[in-house]
Amino acid sequence: MGPHHEDVPVAARVRRLEERVIAAGLATDEELDAVLTRLYTSASPVNGARMVARAWTDPGYRDRLLADGNAAAAELGFGDAVSGYRLKAVANEPGRHNMIVCTLCSCYPVSLLGPSPSWYKSLAYRSRAVREPRAVLAEFGLELPEATEIAVWDASAESRYLVLPGRPAGTAGLPDDDLAALVTLAGLIGTAAV
Amino acid sequence: MRFAPGSRVRARVLDPDHHTRLPGYVRGQLGEIVEAEGVCPLPDDCARGIVPPRVETVYAVRFPAAALWGTGTHTVTVDLWESYLEEAG
């Protein structure tokens, strides 16, 4: 468990689960702590945003990102970060919008997006995203034209999805760092335009 | 790899007693293979402690919302192990 959550009831449940995992010899306390430390210190939507910004300014990188997400992540120094899963980037285009969900649990590329928002793990989002995504997006404030196709990606196996948002208008000439600052976690999930 | 991109498949109607990662909402539904994603151990076997587990190709399979829910214009793409799928006639 991370800091500051000791009083939450789920913390006691997580601690009991950790004790069972350790007692079964599946991992040591130190290994579990190392995983969490790595998560809290390096997993961030800043990573995914850097990849998006590069894809906006470098068409060759965009093509490579869509063809092989893991190789494209490695180009920006995130190779180790995505070594545990197959990264699949899906691109928003005029007339086509993507959003990601994990209906079975809460799978998502944590190392590139950071810890997931609580709503991403909620039963409401997980059940409604595949059933009525347009209504869900509208509740997030994203009203898409009726003609825009919506593609929902349910991360039910070993692939982890990242949405490549469309580049906002009026951003010509901005350097990658400024472009990356425009990209939000919701944009990488697909519940916001950027 | 049994299914080529573009081929029509049906998600099997299974309701096993053990763990599976075949979502209930696609069981029995017709979809289209988007791509093969590589091979992975079958979670149904891993969860039961079967050693070695079956290792199968995982496919991205696209389902139209109208087929899943009777309404809607969107698509839902689900990642499914090969044994969750059968050829659609």
Task: Say if residue A187's pLDDT is above 60.
Answer: yes
Q: In this predicted structure, what is the pLDDT of residue A4?
A: 59
Angle (deg, nearest 10), helices A9-23 and A29-42: 130
Distances in Å between the Cα of B64 and the Cα atoms of A13, A140, A152, A161, B2 are 39, 23, 10, 19, 22
Task: Say if residue A145's pLDDT is above 70.
Answer: yes
Q: Mean per-residue pLDDT for A150-167?
A: 98
Q: Which residues of B touch A131 (CB under 8 A)?
A: 65, 69, 72
Q: Which value, in Å, is the radius of gyration of the alpha carbons in chain B?
A: 13
Task: Tell me whether residue B83 is in a domain.
Answer: yes
Task: Tell me whether residue B56 is in a domain.
Answer: yes
Cβ separation B58–A151 shorter than 8 A: no
Q: What pairs with residue B58 in β-bridges?
A: B81
Residue B28: give the domain boundaries. Answer: 8-87
Q: What is the CATH number of the domain that holds B38?
A: 2.30.30.50
Domains located in chain A, CATH noted:
9-41 (no CATH), 43-189 (3.90.330.10)
ipTM comes to: 0.97
β strands within chain B, DSSP E: 8-11, 30-41, 55-64, 75-81, 85-87
- For B80, the closest of A131, A149, A157 (CB atoms) is A157
Q: In this predicted structure, what is the pLDDT of residue A24?
A: 94
Task: Tell me whether residue B1 is in a domain.
Answer: no
Task: Say if residue A2's pLDDT is above 60.
Answer: no
- Coil, helix or strand for B43? helix
- Coil, helix or strand for B75? strand
Please count the structural domains in chain B: 1
Task: Tell me whether residue B2 is in a domain.
Answer: no
B80 interface with A at CB cutoff 8 Å? yes
In chain B, which residues have pLDDT < 70?
none
* pLDDT tens per residue across span A4-33: 566 788 889 989 999 999 999 999 999 999
* pLDDT tens per residue across span A169-181: 999 999 999 999 9
Task: Say if residue A89's pLDDT is above 80.
Answer: yes
Q: Which residues of A touch B74 (CB under 8 A)?
A: 133-134, 149-152
Task: Say if residue A108's pLDDT is above 90.
Answer: yes
A66 interface with B at CB cutoff 8 Å? no
- The structure tokens listed for A93 are 């285009």
- For A152, the closest of B21, B74, B81 (CB atoms) is B74
Q: Mean per-residue pLDDT for A117-143?
A: 97
Q: In this predicted structure, what is the pLDDT of residue A1?
A: 46
**Dist. CA A113–CA B72, nearest whole Å:** 29
Tally of helices (H runs) and strands (E runs) in chain A: 10, 4
H-type helices in chain A, by residue range?
9-23, 29-42, 45-57, 59-67, 69-75, 110-113, 123-131, 133-139, 176-180, 185-189
**Dist. CA A128–CA B34, nearest whole Å:** 23
Q: Indicate which residues of A carry an active-site annotation.
A: 102, 105-107
Proportion of chain A above pLDDT 90, given as a percent: 87
* pLDDT tens per residue across span A47-85: 999 999 999 999 999 999 999 999 999 999 999 999 989
Does the bond joining B5 to the residue before it have cis omega, within 30 degrees of 0? no
Angle (deg, nearest 10), helices A45-57 and A59-67: 130
Task: Tell me whether residue B45 is in a domain.
Answer: yes
Q: Which residues of A touch B25 (CB under 8 A)?
A: 103, 130
